[in-house]
Each structure stands twice: as structure tokens, then as C-alpha cells.
Amino acid sequence: MLFLSRKSMSIEKFRVDFPCLNSNKPPVYLDNACMTLKPTQVIDAMNEYYEEYPGCAGRSHHRFGKMATERFFEARKTISKHIGAKKPEEVIFTRNTTEGVNLVANSFGLKKGDVVLTTDKEHNSNLIPWKVLEKSIGIKHVIVQSKKDMTFDMGVFEGLVKGTKLVSFVHSSNLDGYTIPAKEVIKIAHENGALVLLDGAQFAPHHKLDVRNLDVDFYSFSGHKMLGPTGTGILYGKMDLLENLKQFMVGGDTVKDSTYNSFVPEDIPERFEAGLQNYAGMIGLAAAVKYLDSVGKENIPRRENELNIIASKGLSSIDRCSIIGPPDVRDRGGVLSFNIQGMDPHSLAIILDGSEIMIRSGMHCVHSWFNAHKINGCARASFYFYNTVEEVEMFVEKVVEASKLR
């Protein structure tokens, strides 16, 4: 459905759906690993809720309430289908990936001495919850170091996974775009009696996700990185595992009944969705995944990687420019993290912004990796299916121009 060409006609068909890109001189938006743009379909779906049926779902018997209940359930169903879940109830609505990871971390029932494995390239979302538990209850947080070429070291993992309670890995890294061999990791983890939680914030928006095929136990991702509204996220969990999770955040909507002395927990997934749910947000997220289905998710990774190949090749002409991540660009997905020696990455981002080219600079919430490698951050361009070859060429041209300031 998508193809890479200079004319990019098939992309233009989609670009018209994004209000941000519909001006005479649209910005070159290359900060998609942080936040994607929103198509009209998502905005309209949210507005429709607010304008036409702004009621509470699952409790009110009036027309608004009934419509909200129906659309909210449909949203859960759409998203569960999109990720290949067995049933909608396995989809827990959260605010973002971080909340999903925290929910597992605090509900899993970890005890002192239990081992949790992470990689060395974790976003703070999948690092800090474990560091907190390490301090509070004494779990053992063990890090699987990457190989020198920044790819996943299966040998090291196999050596560490024995006796591990939970493997919590980033599926695709927001640092360098590298995707771990998740299916193999999960298989080995299960063989060793460990369960697996994946941080899919950077994988789910770009790849076709099939949680059952992966056989992953928990999977957390965000809506705002996949065309959806901010403040939306998903935690997938196998039903039998969800049933054994303790409640984390509790209160409104998490119980069926309560007395002064006791309470009856709500069914799954509502028991994990404390307080009034984000109806408009989740209806918007459902519209986003429908949109992604219409784009054809199976084509997105190839397109993004081809854009990355053009960009990486362009930057290779810059003297003292280094790219963070595996040496083979095909392993870096749609993420291009780089440094130009003698130029502060924040300066570069601000200078590019002057030409309406938007990239990210800093440590990208992977402070631990940068601090360990004594690197003071980097510049990062991250692509999505709606980016064009022309945009990438303009990005390269402006980075080259800025590099001459040194």
C-alpha cells in the first residue's frame, strides 16, 4: 500500500488527513518517536464524543450513557483486535506506557530477592519502577548489557534469565531504533520460568503487533506515539495472569460493591482502571488504530527504514558525525540518533527549528545509557510513514549546513 518514491503520491493521500501538514509550507516533523501527528479522523472521533454523547460509560441509563458505553466497548474491541489479543478484556486502558509498566511492577507481587531483568537501553519508564522496588522491597534488578555493536546479546541473556521472575525489556529502543528478537527472548524466558513484560512504546506504532503470536505475558504501549490522543495507553495482559495481579490504583470504578469493612473487586479489566476512564481519548485511539490499519502497518517499517537509510547516508558526509546504534542502518528502524562533534545537539535542534525542521535533542529519557557512556545527549530524527523523501533530504541539507558552523 505504501511505497517510497520521490513523488510519494501514495503518501500524499495520507498527508492530507493531517491538519499540521496542510499548509503552504508544512513543517518537517521528525520527532515521531516522542509524539506523532494526529489525523482528522482521530480528532473528529474525539470531538464526536464531546459534541454528541458526552456521557459516562457503563453506569448511566440515558442515551448519552448508552452511546458512550457502546463506543467505549467498541474502542476496546478494536484495539484488542489490532494487537491480536484473545479478547477485549485483556486490554487495560492506561494513560501511557509508563503507567502500564508501573501497574505490572506494583501488582505482580514481587518479593524480596525476586530478579527482574532489563536491558541497558531502557527508557526511564522501564527502569525507575524497578529501581524503586529494589529500594523499597529489595528485588534484584539485573541489566542485560548489549553487545558492543548495540545489538541484543542473547548469550548474556540466556546466562542471566535462569531464576528470573520477570523479564521487562524495551521492544524497540527509542535511543537507536533497534528491535530486540522478542519472540526468541520470550521463548527462552518462558523455558526458564520467567514471565515477560515488553515496553512496546516504540514498536507498536510502527509494526504489526500480534501479542498471541509473540506469546508475550504483558505488553505496554502509548497512544500518542501512534496517531492517538495524549494521555492514552494500553496494557495488554494474558487473562490468567491479569486475574492474579493485585489491584494497584483503586477507588471509583474498581469495585462492584463496598461496605465500611470490605469491597468486591470489579471484573477485569475495569478493576485496573481506577477513576473515570478517558472515554474520548480511547475512542480517539481506536480511530487511530483503524487509521493505521488503513495505511497498512506491514509496510510502515520498511518505509521508515528507507527514509533512515537516506538520512544516514546524507549525514555520513559530515566530518566527525557519529550515529548511535547498530552499524547496520537496517537495524535502526526509523530512528536516527547522532552527534556532530563540536556542536551541541540542543543547538542543532534549535537551529533546525529555525528552518521548520523539528527533531529532538537530549537524552530522550534514556539517561542511564548516556551517563554510563559519558555522552551528553544526542540529536534524534525519528520518522513515520507520513514523512517524505523530500523532507528527509531537506533535513540532511540543513544538518550539513549547520555542521559548517563549527
Partner 1 sequence: MVFCIVAIVVFGILGIFSAKYRTYFKEALRCVARQATLRKCDTDFDNKIKSKIVSKLIGKSPKMAKFVYKRFSAISWVFVVIMFASIGLTVFGVVNAVLYGNCNGEESTELCLLNPGTTGDGGFSSIGGSITKELKAPSADDDPRIGGENSSVTIIEFGCLECKYTKKAEETRKALTEKYGNKVKIIFRNFPIPSHPLSREAAEASECADDQGKYWEYHDKMFENQKGMTIEKMKQLAVDVGIDGEEFNQCFDSGKFRDEVEKDRQDGLGAGIYGTPTFFINGMPIVGPAKIEEFTKIIDEELVNTGSAIQEVTMQKPVVDVCTE
Site string for partner 1, 385-404 (x = CB under 8 A): ----------------xx-x
Q: Exactly one of 20, 137, 239, 405 binds partner 1 (CB under 8 A); which one?
A: 405
- Nearer CB in complex with partner 1: 293/397: 397
Of 104 and 402, CB closest to partner 1? 402
- If the CB atoms of residues 28 and 167 are measured against partner 1, the closer one turns out to be 28
Residues 232, 34: Cα–Cα separation, whole Å? 14
Q: Work out how close the CB of 401 gets to partner 1 at its nearest, in angstroms, rounded to a whole number.
A: 6
Based on CB atoms, which residue is closest to partner 1, 223 or 345?
A: 345
Strands (E), 205-277: 218-222, 233-237, 255-258, 263-265
270: Cα within 13 Å, side-chain hemisphere: 18
Tell me how far apart the alpha carbons of residues 168 and 116 are, in angstroms, rounded to a whole number. Answer: 7
Inter-residue contact 37 to 228 (CB < 8 Å):
no
The number of residues that bind partner 1 (CB under 8 A) is 16
Rounded to a whole number of angstroms, the distance between the first and last alpha carbons of the chain is 42
Report, in Å, the least distance between residue 377 CB and partner 1: 11
Task: List CB contacts of 227: < 8 A, sequence separation 6 or more.
Answer: 36, 37, 38, 39, 42, 205, 288, 291, 292
If the CB atoms of residues 140 and 367 are measured against partner 1, the closer one turns out to be 367
Q: How far is the CB of 352 from partner 1 (least distance, A)?
A: 8
Q: Is 318 in the site for partner 1 (CB under 8 A)?
A: no
The distance of closest approach from Cβ of residue 350 to partner 1 in the complex, given in angstroms and rounded to an integer, is 4
Residue 365 is among the residues annotated as catalytic for this protein: yes
Which letter, b or e, does each residue of 149-162 get, where b requires 16 or more Cβ atoms within 10 Å of its Cβ?
ebbbbeeebeebbe
Report if residue 358 touches partner 1, rule: CB under 8 A. no
User: With binding defined as CB under 8 A, does residue 354 bind partner 1?
Assistant: yes
d(CA 254, CA 271): 4
Minimum CB separation of residue 132 from partner 1 in Å reads 25
| Contact between 208 and partner 1 per CB under 8 A | no
HSE-up of residue 192 (Cα within 13 Å, Cβ side): 21
The 8-class DSSP code of residue 32 comes to T
Return the number of the residue (61 or 404) whose C-beta is nearest partner 1: 404
Site string for partner 1, 98-137 (x = CB under 8 A): ----------------------------------------
3-state secondary structure of 146: coil
What are 155's three cell numbers? Answer: 548469550
Smallest distance, Å, CB 343 to partner 1?
9
Q: Which of 355, 358, 375, 400 binds partner 1 (CB under 8 A)?
A: 355
Instruction: Rule CB under 8 A: say whether 158 interacts with partner 1.
Output: no
The full length of the chain comes to 406
Within 334-353, the residues that bind partner 1 by CB under 8 A are: 344, 346-353
Distance CA 24, CA 286 (A): 30
The catalytic position among 20, 34, 56, 365 is 365
**Which residues have a Cβ under 8 Å from the Cβ of 260 and sit 6 or more positions away?**
none
Residue 221 burial (10 A CB sphere; 0-12, 13-18, 19+): buried
Other beta carbons within 10 Å of 251 = 9
Nearest to partner 1 of 192, 355 (CB atom): 355
Backbone angles phi, psi at 388, to 5 degrees: -115, 165
Query: Whole-number minimum distance, CB 92 to partner 1, in Å?
Result: 38
Binding site for partner 1 (CB under 8 A): 344, 346-355, 401-402, 404-406
Positions annotated as catalytic residues are 365
